[in-house]
Amino acid sequence: MKSLLGLLAAACLAVAPAHGPAAAQASPGAAAPTASALPAPTTTHHYIANIGRPRTLKRLGFTVLDTGDSQAEIRTLPKGTQALVWLGQGCPTRITPTFRRQVSRLAASPRVFGYYLSDEPDVVGCPNGPAALATRARYIRRVTHHTQKSFVVMSDSSSYHAYRPAVTQVSMVGIDPYPCSTAHPRCAFGKIKEKVTAALRAGIPLGSIVPVYQAFGQENTSDHYYNLPSGHQLRTMLDRWATLVPHPKMDYSYGWGHQDSANPTLRDSSALKKVLRAYFAG
């Protein structure tokens, strides 16, 4: 998501940065009629990035919130929510003493759901990333006794095979087709099935896939390509995802706060908030 304007640095950051959209890519997939009713929710772990007021997000139904590695920050999260701690890199590097200290400090915390380790790495620009990522994911699994998750988001389907969990050892892989854009004003919902099919063929297990829901546009940015979905369009996305990935460990709504590459976002749309609140409530 951050790759559009190069928002990620290669070095691991100790605080949660703004997460952002992928570079625009033309994709086939005809628009489909919107869903008439919401599907049943498929997980109880609903994650959102670039958070504002945590209590507002909890009221919407989000249960996993974007944080840094500060124990004080994590302790202030509302009861009933957990942290997905940003320790991410654009191009993963091998485990470091700093990373070990960060995870070890939080390994026993029930308030930590897992760690966001990389955002949209690609095998061309980061060929050593899969093996490096594995050193980090294995450490999380070992020191937390399998109780906390590791997470990476993939955009380019040509990198799916190289970054499949059998190599990277990560628990969860976010797949982020963003169907609503200026190229597809009615939204190319077929992109969702295309990306999920490509992930499965590349060796990413169905149980590892995390649906990423588009809840942003670029109407207020200088690089307007993505459009903020309507409520009906988001309903259709949820329906497609629920059919294709019925039991994910987590789902991911991108996103809440504004960025140079994402504005407007969920916080600006009462229609999108209404849909997600109803979906999460079942």
For the chain, which domains are there?
36-281 (3.20.20.80)
Rounded distance, CA 40 to CA 247, Å? 11
Tokens of 117: 């380790």
Q: Which two tokens stand for residue 64?
A: 């996993």
The answer for residues whose C-beta is within 8 angstroms of residue 261's C-beta and 6 or more apart is 2, 4, 5, 7, 20, 21, 218, 221, 223
257-270 pLDDT, tens digit per residue, is 999 999 999 999 99
3-state secondary structure of 213: strand
Three-state DSSP at 252 gives strand
> Are the CB atoms for 236 and 276 separated by under 8 Å?
no
Residue 42 phi/psi, 5-degree rounding, is: -105, -5
Tens place of pLDDT per residue across the chain (282 aa) = 544 333 333 333 333 345 555 433 333 444 444 445 899 988 999 999 999 889 999 999 999 999 999 999 999 999 999 999 999 999 999 999 999 999 999 999 999 999 999 999 999 999 999 999 999 999 999 999 999 999 999 999 999 999 999 999 999 999 999 999 999 999 999 999 999 999 999 999 999 999 999 999 999 999 999 999 999 999 999 999 999 999 999 999 999 999 999 999 999 999 999 999 999 999
Contact (CB, 8 A) for 179 and 194: no
Residue pLDDT, tens place only, 98-152: 999 999 999 999 999 999 999 999 999 999 999 999 999 999 999 999 999 999 9
35 closest CA partner among 234, 183, 212: 234
DSSP string, 45-110: -EEESS-S-HHHHHHHT--EEEE-S-HHHHHTSPTT-EEEEEEEESS-----HHHHHHHHHHTT-T
Give the DSSP letter string of 159-206: GTTTT-HHHH--SEEEE-----BSS-TT--THHHHHHHHHHHHTT--G
Q: What is the DSSP letter of 264?
A: S
